[in-house]
Chains A and B, each alone.
Chain A
Amino acid sequence: MIEELKNTSASDIAAAILKARRNLGTASGLVFTLVVVTDSRHFNRVLGAAMESGREHPSRILVVVFGHAAATRLDAEIHTGEGVPGDVVALHLSGELTQHADSVVLPLLLPDSPVVIWWPNECPIDPADDPIGALGTRRITDSSGSADHLAALIARAGNHAPGDTDLAWTRLTPWRALLAAALDQYHGRITGALVEAAPGNAPAELMAAWLETRLSVQVDRVPGPSGGITSVRLHSLAGDVAVSRQPGNSMACYNIPGQPPREVALPRRDIQQLITEELRRMDPDDIFEQVVAQVLVRAKRGEINVSGRSQPRVRRDEADQK
């Protein structure tokens, strides 16, 4: 790439040199290897998202694409430059090789630095036990990318290993931050809670499980209009702490007992923003581990409706007797 600077100054030239050097990227500056596992149907979309996240995280990105052809074959495309500070390598695998993808990935990992595996769509039943999954220190799945979100979430919860996270959890961070900030200010006792969301919403189940582990109160899941979580309420004697957002709205209403209601920006985040948040942490997410354990407890109590049809909620006292 040739960049021309017209009517410029020495400091602009120096800045352009620096930028060019960064864009070129050298392996010594790359901080981790990101392995994205997908199929040919999703390849273009996934490659775009991976390159986008590579812009923020200088890394080596290996996109492993499983093809359906019978012949054993490995094709690769290497993208460098193009504004991405790092290497992007697409690996197309087919035939018997799809069973041995780890043999292709292993030699291409950067020395020493962490390895992150990301399944943007369907993922193995047990990610940590998968041949590619086993290479990673961090494994990122997205139960909202599966056909049945709740079934996927429960499968992930059942096979959770340290280092696993799910983007359904990442989607909750801004909500959780607002709720935590509310309880920084409001010190009344919380007696119960409610999460309102469309049925079959994985983040809503994680929210309910999180509130249950943290607050040790009954958390009700009530159906709401479509569009993800629409409201979270924490009950107390003085009134509800509540964050609610109407579908399609990027402003949420924020209520704390004893304070005037206020509006706060709570936009939905796109996949790049989510993956960027995920890639910020290379250590296991202990809180997520506690929360998925609680998801299993709630599922066992029948509080999670996997089939998506309505089902009577189990009362807290009944659940406790089991």
Chain B
Amino acid sequence: MTIEALHSNPLRDPQDRRLPRIAGPCVLVIFGVTGDLSRKKLMPAVYDLANRGLLPPGFGLVGFARRDWEDQDFAQQVHDAVKENARTPFREEVWKQLLQGIRFVPGDLGDDESFQRLRRTILELDEVRGTGGNHAYYLSIPPGLFDDVLGQLRRHGLVDEVGGSWKRVIIEKPFGHNLQSARELNQILSTTFPSHSVFRIDHYLGKETVQNMLALRFANQMFEPIWNNNYVSNVQITMAEDIGIGGRAGYYDGIGAARDVIQNHLLQLMALTAMEEPTSFDARQLRLEKQKVLGAARTPKDLAAHTARGQYTGGWQGGKKVVGYLEEQGIPPTSTTETYAAIRVDIDNRRWAGVPFYLRTAKRMPRRVTEIALEFKRAPHLPFTDTDTEELGKNALVMRIQPDEGITMRFGAKVPGTSMEIREVSMDFAYGGSFTESSPEAYERLILDVLLGDPPLFPQHEEVELAWQILDPVLDYWAALGTQPEPYVAGTWGPPSGLEMMARDGFTWRRP
């Protein structure tokens, strides 16, 4: 659906905000549909969209995988996944609507015959469901297989946008494992799809979160004046997970925390925190601002002093006994993959010069939390005695991303009583406490964006490459060391080197 189409529709009016935009008729084809992600996230997201009335009556869902399934076997899988994991209540009539468009194509990614079958299935759906040749391909498969799939789609005429129809592709992180491989990946994608048809999903970073941050920063007057190096002393961006690597040994080992989380998620959060105000919120302007700030960001020269990496050892996490990384199933006992990564990033522009951004992420931390904390400088003069302000910390503004998305401010207040004593207090706002609708899942927003053809707020390849440019020196440095990452006990906030790296700059990590 184009903007022109919207304009020509007499029933639509920008003021009529009750009317949701419903995606046009289309087919969503999922490769790798038997995977965990598809069952836990994609299928429930599709159902939730349908339940909210946002999917078109003409909608097809095609699964492709190496399984000996009939349509109804696949439908049963979808049904179970939806019942188990959907966010919204199960309604028979919504399921009936979805069921009419569910198909399964058994087959191999390398097999021509299978893609013939896929083509016939999709064309049949175009016919009976009126999906009009609009197809979205979700590649829930390892990036190494993209080349094969895209080649097959091309050869079988499944990517040509004929007669006003559209074809789009959705891929997931990791977007490469360094700058070089990210470029190669983009090369492969661009042979088949123009860049506006490629949707990269970072499932940690929902569009809701991005928009919440934009609203906080640019819809308010009170934050902007202090959002700079006159007032901010340092910024700490943390993503801690309480889980270990679970069943993802094959994916995780050799990738590590920095590639898995810092490259995409934390650098995106940093860009959103540090960027200038875009002239408008259309996707292109937003991307330009993020690119500018990522282009100005760099890691310090002395990487030994300003980075830290660790690997968890066995211990107790949240009351449960857990094994160390090297004892996890499928991990070689000599692995040097880091499960804790912390780096300092500096942004060379007028707003941020001299304000270090600290990015850290790890597995097996005490609790699951993602947050961005701006720590402010101390007031230049305190008209109190030292003992009065003993308990006064630094003012901070914390944007909590998850769980319990919200904003916390920390500041000093006088303790009631006769003596002058100032202590830190916090003021808290939670989206869940003040708003009615629970936020849609990142996947729901993304799938809807893809089907509507909304320009994605998710990164395009330029941003992905800029992020690798920032991170590559750190990765190279760590690889060159050839040593084991520093051990830390599971269920703690990381290795001593992480604390020392902050102490060198005169800061300490907040406890999130």
Binding site for B on A (CB under 8 A): 8-11, 14-15, 18, 22, 25, 28-31, 56-58, 85, 170, 173-174, 176-181, 183-185, 187, 190, 211, 214-215, 250-251, 254, 256, 259-260, 262-267, 276-277, 279-281, 285-287
Q: Do residues A281 and B17 form an inter-chain contact, with CB atoms below 8 A?
A: yes
Q: Please pick, from A31, A177, A260, A286, the residue contacting B129 in the complex, using a CB distance under 8 A.
A: A260
Residues on B with C-beta less than 8 A from A215 are 10-11
Cβ-based interface call for B379 (8 A): no
Q: Is the CB of B91 within 8 A of A183?
A: no
Q: Across chains A and B, which 9 residue pairs bring their CB atoms closest together, nearest first?
A: A10-B318, A259-B130, A29-B433, A181-B22, A264-B57, A265-B93, A250-B93, A180-B11, A262-B57
Interface flag for B382 (CB, 8 Å): no
Min CB distance, B14 to chain A, in Å?
Answer: 10
A residues less than 8 Å from B9 (CB atoms): 180, 183-184
Given contacts A262-B57, A267-B91, A287-B15, contact A11 B96 (CB under 8 A): no
User: Which candidate, B103-111, B418-426, B434-442, B482-490, is the interface stretch facing chain A?
Assistant: B434-442
Report how far A265 CA is from B97 CA in the complex, Å: 6
Contact A56 B58, beta carbon cutoff 8 Å: no
Residues of B within 8 A of A30 (CB): 434
Least distance between B291 CB and chain A CB atoms (Å): 33
Q: Give the residue name and chain of the B residue nearest to A174 (CB).
A: B53
Is residue B220 within 8 Å, beta carbon to beta carbon, of the partner chain?
no
| B56 interface residue (CB < 8 Å to A) | yes
Partner of A265, one of B50, B129, B367, B404: B50
Q: How far is the CB of B272 from chain A (nearest CB, A)?
A: 25
Q: How far is the CA of A8 from the CA of B50 in the complex (A)?
A: 34
Q: Report how far A277 CA is from B52 CA in the complex, Å.
A: 12
Q: How far is the CB of A208 from chain B (nearest CB, A)?
A: 14
Please give the distance in Å from A65's CB to the nearest CB on chain B.
Answer: 25
Task: Please tell me if B414 contacts chain A, counting CB pairs below 8 Å.
Answer: no
Q: Is the CB of A185 within 8 A of B432?
A: no
28 chain-A/chain-B pairs, Cβ below 8 angstroms: A8-B319, A9-B318, A10-B242, A18-B403, A18-B404, A22-B432, A22-B433, A29-B434, A31-B436, A56-B436, A176-B11, A176-B19, A178-B57, A181-B22, A181-B24, A183-B9, A183-B12, A184-B5, A187-B5, A190-B10, A251-B93, A251-B96, A251-B97, A260-B58, A260-B127, A265-B96, A287-B15, A287-B16
Assembly CA distance A267 to B242 (angstroms): 41
A183 cross-chain contacts in B, Cβ below 8 A:
9-12
> In the bound complex, what is the Cα–Cα distance between A178 and B5 (angstroms)?
16
Whether B96 contacts A184 by the Cβ 8 Å rule is no
> What number of residue pairs across chains A and B have CB atoms under 8 A from each other?
134
Evaluate whether A184 and B93 lie within 8 angstroms (CB atoms) in the complex, with A9-B318, A15-B403, A281-B17 already known.
no
Specify which of B57, B242, B429 lies most central, judged by the most chain A CB atoms within 10 Å of its CB: B57
Asked if A10 and B25 sit within 8 Å, CB to CB, the answer is: no
Are the C-beta atoms of B318 and A286 separated by less than 8 Å? no
Q: Which B1-60 residues have C-beta < 8 A from chain A?
A: 1, 5-6, 8-13, 15-20, 22, 24-25, 50-51, 53, 56-58
A276 and B366 CA atoms in complex are apart in Å by 38
Q: Is B503 an interface residue (CB 8 A)?
A: no
Distance in Å: Cβ of A179 to nearest Cβ of chain B: 6
* Interface SS, B side: loop
Q: Is the CB of A184 within 8 A of B6?
A: yes
Contact B24 A58 (CB under 8 A): no
Q: Is the CB of B25 within 8 A of A11?
A: no
Closest to B428 in A: A28
Q: Would A29 and B130 count as touching, CB distance under 8 A? A: no
Name the distance in Å between A139's Cβ and chain B's nearest Cβ.
17
Q: Does B296 contact A (CB under 8 A)?
A: no
B430 on the A face (CB < 8 A): yes
Do A176 and B130 touch across chains, with their CB atoms under 8 A apart? no
For the complex, give the distance between the alpha carbons of A262 and B436 in Å: 32
* Chain A residues within 8 Å of B11, by CB: 176, 179-180, 183, 211, 214-215
> Which chain B residues border A174 with CB–CB below 8 Å?
53
Contact residues in B for A28 (Cβ distance below 8 Å): 429
Q: Do A259 and B22 form a contact, CB below 8 Å, given A9-B320, A11-B242, A265-B50?
A: no
Decide if B413 is an interface residue (CB 8 Å cutoff): no
User: Would A177 and B130 be within 8 Å (CB), given that A185-B25, A262-B58 are in contact?
Assistant: no
Identity of the chain A residue whose Cβ is nearest the Cβ of B51 in the assembled complex: A265
Shortest Cβ distance from B15 into chain A, in angstroms? 5
Chain B residues lying within 8 Å of A190, measured Cβ to Cβ, are 10
CB A289 to nearest CB in B, in angstroms, measures: 10
* Total count of chain B residues near the partner, CB < 8 A: 53
B368 within 8 A of A: yes
What chain A residues lie within 8 Å of B192 (beta carbons)? none
A262 with B12: in contact, given A15-B403, A18-B404, A184-B1 (CB under 8 Å)? Answer: no
Instruction: Check: B128 CB closer than 8 A to any chain A CB.
Output: yes
Q: Is B116 an interface residue (CB 8 A)?
A: no
- Add 19 more A-B contacts to A18-B404, A184-B1 (CB < 8 A): A11-B318, A25-B433, A176-B19, A177-B53, A184-B5, A251-B96, A254-B57, A259-B25, A263-B97, A265-B53, A265-B91, A265-B96, A267-B91, A280-B437, A281-B17, A281-B18, A285-B18, A286-B15, A287-B18
Which residues, 97 to 139 on B, are CB-close (under 8 Å) to A? 97, 100, 127-130, 132
B179 sits at the interface (CB 8 A): no
Contacts of A18 in B (CB 8 A): 403-404
Complex Cα distance A304/B400, Å? 54
Bound complex: CA A265 to CA B55 (Å): 10
Of all chain A residues, which has the CB nearest B100? A263
Shortest beta-carbon distance from A280 to chain B in Å: 6
Which residues of the partner chain A approach B129 to less than 8 Å between Cβ atoms?
A: 260, 262
Given the known inter-chain contacts A174-B53, A180-B11, A262-B130, please indicate yes or no for A57 contacting B18, CB distance below 8 A.
Answer: no
- Chain A residue at minimum C-beta to C-beta distance from B98: A265
**Residue B499 CB within 8 A of the other chain:** no
Note all chain A residues with C-beta closer than 8 A to B97: 251, 263-265
Shortest CB-to-CB span from A18 to chain B, Å, is 6
A14 and B11 CA atoms in complex are apart in Å by 47
Of A11, A22, A176, A286, chain B has the most CB atoms within 10 Å of the CB of A11
Bound Cα distance from A16 to B367, whole angstroms: 14
**Bound Cα distance A29, B320 (Å):** 34
B94 interface hit (Cβ, 8 Å): yes
- Of B5, B13, B367, which is within 8 A of A287 by CB? B13
Residue of B nearest to A180 (CB): B11
* Chain B proximity of A170: nearest CB distance (Å): 8
Closest B residue to A259 by CB, please name it: B130
Closest to A252 in B: B57
Q: Which B residues from 47 to 83 make CB contacts under 8 A with A?
A: 50-51, 53, 56-58
| Closest residue on chain B to residue A276 by CB atoms | B436
| Chain B 128-179 interface residues, beta-carbon cutoff 8 Å to A | 128-130, 132
B36 to chain A, nearest CB (A): 20
Q: Closest CB of chain A to B225's CB: distance in Å?
A: 23
0/1 per residue, B320-354, Cβ < 8 Å to A? Answer: 10000000000000000000000000000000000
Q: Are A262 and B100 in contact (CB under 8 A)?
A: yes
Query: Using Cβ atoms and an 8 Å threshold, which residues of chain B touch A11?
Result: 242, 318, 367-368
Interface centre among A15, A170, A265 (most CB of B within 10 A): A265
Beyond A183-B9, A265-B50, is A280–B320 a contact (Cβ under 8 Å)?
no
Cβ–Cβ < 8 Å partners of B128 in chain A: 260
